[in-house]
A and B are shown apart, each in its own frame.
With several copies, the nearest count.
Chain A
Amino acid sequence: MASKVLMKGNEAIGEAAMIAGCRHYFGYPITPQSELPAYLAKHMPKRDGVFVQAESEVAAINMVYGSGGTGVRVMTSSSSPGISLKQEGISYIACAEVPCLIVNVVRGGPGLGNIAPAQSDYFQAVKGGGHGDYKLIVLSPSSVQEMADFTVLGFDLADKYRTPVMMLSDGYLGQMMEPVALPEATNIKKYDKPWATIGARGRGQNLISSIHLVPEDMEKHIEHLYKKYAEIEKNELLYEEYQCGDAEYVMVSYGITARICKTACVMAREQGIKLGLLRPKTLWPFPKMPISKLAQSKNVKGFISVELSTGQMIEDVRLAVNGLKPVELFGRTGGVVPTPNEVLTNVKRLFSIK
C-alpha cells in the first residue's frame, strides 16, 4: 500500500483522475470545487494534459461532449448552479453515449443559495435534471479516500458502458482534508473505442449524435439505452451495511451524512438502541433490493432517510420499502449539517424510542 497523503477531497479527485489516465479537463470556476481545477491547472501541463477554463459551464459541458466523443478520458466539475446549466449538455451526452465523468460538489440551494454542503441535487442527478428519458450512473463518495477511488471507478464505468457518470459529492467532502492512499496507475483498465470521432482514417463515418427524427428510431435508441441501464443495475450496484444485522431501525444515508450517521449508530448502541445504517455508494443504481430485504426482515421496525435536503432520496427508499414498514425523514437543508447527536435524537423522536 502506498503511504497516505493528506489531501483535500477536491484535490484527491484531480490526482486520481490523472492516475486514471484522464488528460482532458474542461470546467468553469465555482465554489466549493475550485481546488479541483486549480490542482489540474497546475498538474495537467506537467503530464501533457489539457486543462481548459471554459467561458461558462454550458461551454464546458459541450467541450466534454466533443472531447469524450473522440474517445479520450475527459471530465468536468462544478457545483449546483453550474450543474443546472449543464443539463442540456448532459442530456445530449447521455443520448449520444459519450463517456465522461461529471463531478458535482453540491452546495446549498435552490438559487444562488450558499457554499455550504448539501445533498439537495439528488433528484437532479438521479431522476434526470435534463430533458428526456435517460439515466446517469451516480456515485456517492463519503470520504476523501472514496473521492479518489470513485474517480477511478467513474472513468471505468463510463468507458465500460459508454455512458456519463456523475460523482455527487458535497461542499464538505470537497473541502475537507483526510489521508488518502492514492490508486495504483497499474490497475487502470483501458477500453477500445471504435466509435470515436478522430477522423475516418479509411473506415466509414463515425458519428456522435443525439438526433433521431423518426419517433420509432428514437424509441429504438432509447430502448437500447435502457437495456444498457438494466445491465448497469444488475452489475454495478454498490452499498455498505453497518450494524444492520440485528437492527430495529435502519437509517439510509449517503455521502458526508452517512459518516455522521455512523457515529450516531455507535452512540445509539451505547444507549441500547439497535440502530443500523445502509449507505448507498451508487445512488443510481439505487440499492433497492437490499433495502427491500431489510424491509422484509422481522427485526426492522422502520427506516429513516437522513439527508441534507427536504427529502429527496426518501422517495427511492419508500419505493424500495413499498409500504412494508414506515419510512421517516430526518433532513436538514440549506447547508446546515446535523451533528451525530442531533441525528440520534431525531431518530428517537421519529420512532418514539425512549
Chain B
Amino acid sequence: MKDKAKILEEVKTMKKVATRPKCLSDRTFHYCPGCTHGVVHRLVAETIDELAIQEKTIGVAPVGCSVFAYWYFNTDFSQAAHGRAPAVATGIKRSVPGSVVFTYQGDGDLAAIGTAEIIHAANRGEKITVIFINNAIYGMTGGQMAPTSLINQKTQTSPYGRDSETMGYPIRVSEMLSGFEGVKYLSRVAVDTPANIVKAKAAIKKAFQTQLEGKGFSMVEVLSICPTDWGMNVPDSKKWLQENMIPYYPLKEFKAPKAEDAKGGE
C-alpha cells in the first residue's frame, strides 16, 4: 500500500508509455488466464485509437469466446451468427460505405462453418478488415477440433489425435485466400512474444489502413493460444505455438497494397 502510493507519486513526473486504449471499456475481459484474445483486442483498440476512427467503426463478432467483444470495444457492434460475420459485415459496409467495419473471428468460425462467407467476401473484395484468431481449436464450446488443428493434436473430437486420413489436413487459410484478387492486405502474425506482438500490431494497422484507403479486403491471421482447451499452462502454450504452429503456419505478409501495385500480390 505504501509502495503503491510512492509509485503513484513518482510516475506523476514521468511519461505514460503504455496504458489501456481509449477505445476499450473498463470491463475486465472474461477470457481465461493467459488467453491471447485480450492481447489482440488491445491491438485492435490501439489501432482504432491511432487512426481516430472509433466514431465510425462497427465491429462484428460472431460466436466464439469473443462473442462478447462488444462488452469491450467502445464502438458500434453487431453480434453475428456462427461463421457469418463476413456476410454481416458486407451488409453493413454496403449500407454505410463511409464506415470502418471489422470482423473478429475464430478458426472454427471462419475456417469451418464460415468457409463460404469468408471466401466470397474476400473474392468480392469487400472493404472490410478481418481479424482471424487461429488458436487451432474451438474454444468456446470446450475444445473440439478446428479445421486448423494440427496433425495428431488431441481435442475433444479427435481424442486420439487428428488423423489426416479421416479428418483431413490443417487448413492454411491465408495461403488459400492469398490467390484472390479482391484481397489487398493479408498477413499472418503471432502474439507469443513482445516482438511478435509489435509486428502483429503493425499488420493490424496496415489492414485497417487498407480499408480506409478503399482498396479492398484485408485480413490478419493471428496465431493465438488457448491454454484451457489445449490443457497447458501459459508458458507451455506459447512454446507449443512456437514449436508446432509457426512451422506449419509460417508468419508472413502475403499481400500488401504496395507490393500489389507492383506485382499483383504473391
Contact = CB atoms under 8 A, between A and B. Distances in A.
Asked if the two chains touch in their complex, CB atoms less than 8 Å apart, one says yes
A77 to B, nearest CB: 12
B77 interface: yes
A55 B82 contact: no
20 contacts: A26-B91, A28-B113, A29-B144, A31-B141, A31-B142, A37-B157, A53-B145, A58-B117, A59-B87, A59-B90, A62-B81, A64-B91, A66-B92, A70-B92, A74-B91, A89-B81, A197-B78, A199-B55, A208-B77, A209-B70
B229 to A, nearest CB: 12
Interface residues of B, number: 56
* Among all A-B residue pairs, the 4 with the closest Cβ atoms: A66-B91, A67-B91, A66-B88, A63-B91
A50 to B, nearest CB: 5
B190 interface: no
Given A59-B90, A62-B80, A62-B81, 4 more contacts: A55-B119, A70-B58, A205-B77, A211-B67
Contacts, number: 183
**Candidate in B73, B98, B144 with the most chain A CB atoms within 10 angstroms:** B144
Given A37-B144, A66-B89, A56 B83 contact: yes
Interface string A63-86: 111111111101000000100000
A41 to B, nearest CB: 4
Given A63-B90, A65-B88, A199-B58, A207 B79 contact: yes
Interface in A167-218: 197-202, 205-211
B204 interface: no
Contacts of A200: 54-55, 57, 74-76
A197 B144 contact: no
Interface of A: 24, 26, 28-31, 34, 37-38, 41-42, 45, 50-60, 62-72, 74, 81, 88-89, 92, 96, 112, 197-202, 205-211
A135 to B, nearest CB: 19
B116 A56 contact: yes
Nearest to B145: A53
B78 A41 contact: no
B155 to A, nearest CB: 9
Nearest to A201: B55
A55 B84 contact: no
Interface string B49-83: 00000111110100100011010011111111111
Contacts of B89: 66
Contacts of A51: 157
Given A53-B167, A66-B90, A205-B76, A81 B96 contact: no
B91 A55 contact: no
Contacts of A89: 81, 84
A26 B90 CA distance: 10
B182 to A, nearest CB: 13
Given A41-B158, A67-B91, A34 B112 contact: no
B113 A41 contact: no
B94 A52 contact: yes
Interface in B234-262: none
A68 B94 CA distance: 11
A209 B62 CA distance: 10
A205 B79 contact: no
Nearest to B63: A112
A328 to B, nearest CB: 35
**Candidate in A28, A41, A42, A55 with the most chain B CB atoms within 10 angstroms:** A55
A196 to B, nearest CB: 8
A62 B116 CA distance: 13
B265 interface: no
**Candidate in B67, B81, B166 with the most chain A CB atoms within 10 angstroms:** B81
A63 B85 CA distance: 9
A64 B81 CA distance: 12
A199 B116 contact: no
A265 to B, nearest CB: 36
A34 B60 CA distance: 25
B95 A112 contact: no
A26 B142 CA distance: 18
B96 A62 contact: no
Contacts of B264: none
Given A59-B87, A63-B90, A74 B95 contact: yes
A63 B60 CA distance: 12
B240 to A, nearest CB: 21
